[in-house]
Amino acid sequence: MSGNAAKADPITVEIVRNGVLSVTEEMKTNLMRTAYNMIIYEALDFTVGLFTATGETVSIGLGLPMFIRGMSETVKAKLAKIGPENMQPGDILITNDSYTTGSHLNHVTLSLPIFHEGKLIAFTCCMAHWLDIGGSIGQVTTDIYSEGLQIPIMKLQRAGVLNEDLVDLIKMNVRLPDTAWGDLRAQITAVTSGERAFRSIVNRYGCDDVLNSIAAIMDQTEAEARANTRTIPDGVYEAESFMDDDGLDIGTHIPIKVKVTVAGDEMTIDLSEVSHQVRGFYNSGITTGFACAQVAYKCLTTGTTYPVNDGSFRSLNVIMPPGRVISATRPAPMRWWMTFPMTVIDTIFKALAPAIPDRVIAGHHADLVTTTLHGINPLDGRFFIAAVGPLGGGWGAKSTEDGVGVTVCINDGDTHNSPSEQIETKYPILVEKYELRQDSGGAGRHRGGLGAECVVQALAPIAFNSTIERVHCKPWGLDGGLAGDGNLIDVRVNGEWRGKLPNAKMFTERIRPGDAFMVRSGGGGGFGAPVERPADQVVFDVVEGYVSAESAERDYGVILDASGKKLDVGATQARRQTLVKSKAAE
């Protein structure tokens, strides 16, 4: 059953728009507050949504932007496999199939079909990141089978009756069965509370009017996307970048190349020249390939329009052949699916920079900057897996303002870091510092945001894992702005930092009590030539410690007087002239 936008009245449309937003808000609240693992409840690594009877996105709550397609495609796959005629009230469908969700097996995805007078009218859906899904840990996997339990599309609950056999099977295949079971219950709460909330809207305003209004909401969003695409000059825009490596062939960069064509009110994003799928676990499925293009397109055309719905994407064509690193096919390993797509999105912004410099953003740190630890917790003698991070990093500057410092990457939205007081209470570690990285933001007329540095000391033997990317391809500047610093890790043994690591990846590195690991997130790229930055702003940055006096002089041509707090006007003038001349000589 689907709606007819032409029959909707504008008042009810707006009422229903507010209504569907509140449905997904309520789902989010319930999931977050009842989940068992810190990645859900503290980092908010999950996505909830409401979908049409055919699987189109009506509203996605705050969650992972990169999962903007994952749930819709999962609902569609469930419709294709099971068939709407075989669904009934009280059913809940489950899967974590990587090649359907486009992501890793940890993303267990539940969908609940909603019926009205016997007809299927919508789905609520909830993806949440499970802390463990089995498989090997502490190494780079090379196929999906080593990554854990695969749950095909099946019914977790049939007409209100839970499939206990399936729950038993799941529990036996994961390392933290109690946590998994707790999270699964929280997800059931989320989809059922969403159903209840949506049904109350349908009961209040009438099913037809609600479905017609939903169709109209999507049309309105489409109109906005088209209007904002029309203001982009027609043309073909290209850009490239690269990833450090796939974790196995260290030093072999992985090319990212995008081509964007704008014609009238439509945009085509061609991702066929993104690298082929790789041996290590940085692949993602085709759903995520589409999501890369859609996230970039939404940011540029309907960035602050809610609810997030599929009307946004009707004016976007995506060319995404299978077999690329963001459209990988079975049995490609997918565990670290989220990292490469972020750089693809940034590269799309980079391509469009000449066309719409005032609407794009310079490169960002583009990584979750999360590390994981595992070991035996001396507090209770039990096995633990802990995430330290996401740390947040620098975002790129724009033509009108500085980049934002230490904020979560574009893969994530309402994701939080973990309080040090909390992780120290739970795990045998001590956070020595969590602070801003001076000079990590790319210099520019508008400066890139700063990255962060975190040093964590082991209080018991732990195993340390890092899958961090973008050490070598630094977050680029735009329009003459300089690049920010890349991401970085290091390990301290007996008081000595190891240094000179080829990348930021490390697997099952044993760290002893007193030793430590360090993680640094990159800064954002700058925008515009640094010499054009007003000198008083540079002085402010130096006084506050965001920029060193050395960088102020070297990159911005700004020199402070002996007090270290005031501008030396004469010296600055001279230095800036020299910089401008040498730039011209280039």
- Please count the residues of this chain forming the interface with other proteins, following the rule CB under 8 A: 91
Q: Is 501 one of the binding residues for other proteins (CB under 8 A)?
A: no
**Burial class, 377, CB count within 10 angstroms (exposed 0-12 / middle 13-18 / buried 19+):** middle
Which of 303, 323, 502, 514: binder of other proteins (CB under 8 A)? 303
* Residues of span 219-248 touching other proteins by CB under 8 A: 219-224, 227-228
Q: Give me the amino acid identity at 545.
A: G
Q: Is 407 one of the binding residues for other proteins (CB under 8 A)?
A: yes
Q: Taking the CA atoms of 438, 440, 444 and 447 in sequence, report the sign of the dihedral they define.
A: negative
Smallest distance, other proteins to C-beta of residue 182, A = 6
Q: Is 512 one of the binding residues for other proteins (CB under 8 A)?
A: no
* Residues of span 332-351 touching other proteins by CB under 8 A: 349
Which of 3, 20, 24, 32: binder of other proteins (CB under 8 A)? 32
Which of 430, 460, 493, 549: binder of other proteins (CB under 8 A)? 430
Angle 34-390-426 from CA coordinates, rounded to 5°: 55
How far is Cα 185 from Cα 22, in angstroms, rounded to an integer?
A: 21
Binding mask 139-158 for other proteins (x = CB under 8 A): --------------------
Q: Is 309 one of the binding residues for other proteins (CB under 8 A)?
A: no
Q: Is 436 one of the binding residues for other proteins (CB under 8 A)?
A: yes
Smallest distance, other proteins to C-beta of residue 73, A = 19
| Distance of alpha carbon 85 from the chain centroid | 35
* Residues of span 175-204 touching other proteins by CB under 8 A: 178-179, 182, 185, 188-189, 192-193, 197, 204
How far is Cα 59 from Cα 51, in angstroms, rounded to an integer?
A: 7
Range in contact with other proteins (rule: CB under 8 A) among 217-225, 235-243, 251-259, 267-275: 217-225
Range in contact with other proteins (rule: CB under 8 A) among 95-103, 135-143, 299-307, 512-520: 299-307
Q: Is 414 one of the binding residues for other proteins (CB under 8 A)?
A: yes
Residue 219 or 532 with smaller CB distance to other proteins: 219
Helix (H) or strand (E) segment spanning residue 263:
strand 254-263
Q: Give me the amino acid identity at 202.
A: V
Instruction: Give Rg (Cα) of the chain.
Output: 25
Identify which of 417, 434, 507, 519 has the alpha carbon closest to the alpha carbon of residue 467: 507
Q: Give me the amino acid identity at 193.
A: S
Smallest distance, other proteins to C-beta of residue 248, A = 30
Smallest distance, other proteins to C-beta of residue 29, A = 5
Contacts of 192 (CB under 8 A, 6+ apart): 112, 124
Residue 120 β-bridge partners = 115
Which of 114, 260, 361, 388: binder of other proteins (CB under 8 A)? 361
Contacts of 388 (CB under 8 A, 6+ apart): 370, 371, 372, 373, 418, 423, 429, 454, 456, 519
Range in contact with other proteins (rule: CB under 8 A) among 21-29, 96-104, 234-242, 512-520: 21-29
Residue 77 or 456 with smaller CB distance to other proteins: 456
Smallest distance, other proteins to C-beta of residue 549, A = 14
Binding mask 543-572 for other proteins (x = CB under 8 A): xxxx--------------------------
Contact assessment for residue 66 and residue 295, using Cβ atoms and an 8 Å cutoff: yes
Smallest distance, other proteins to C-beta of residue 227, A = 5
Q: Is 452 one of the binding residues for other proteins (CB under 8 A)?
A: yes
Six-digit token string for 413: 């939205």
Q: Is 434 one of the binding residues for other proteins (CB under 8 A)?
A: yes
Which of 3, 20, 24, 41: binder of other proteins (CB under 8 A)? 41
Which of 11, 562, 584, 585: binder of other proteins (CB under 8 A)? 11
Range in contact with other proteins (rule: CB under 8 A) among 119-127, 166-174, 386-394, 574-582: 386-394
How far is Cα 121 from Cα 200, in angstroms, rounded to an integer?
A: 13
How far is Cα 393 from Cα 519, in angstroms, rounded to an integer?
A: 11
A 10 A CB-CB count for 231 gives: 12
Contact assessment for residue 282 and residue 337, using Cβ atoms and an 8 Å cutoff: yes
Q: Is 256 one of the binding residues for other proteins (CB under 8 A)?
A: no
| Distance of alpha carbon 307 from the chain centroid | 18
Contacts of 211 (CB under 8 A, 6+ apart): 1, 2, 3, 4, 121
Which of 405, 441, 444, 525: binder of other proteins (CB under 8 A)? 405
Residue 174 or 325 with smaller CB distance to other proteins: 174
* Residues of span 55-84 touching other proteins by CB under 8 A: 62, 65
Smallest distance, other proteins to C-beta of residue 251, A = 31
How far is Cα 390 from Cα 476, in angstroms, rounded to an integer?
A: 21
Identify the DSSP state of 369. Answer: -
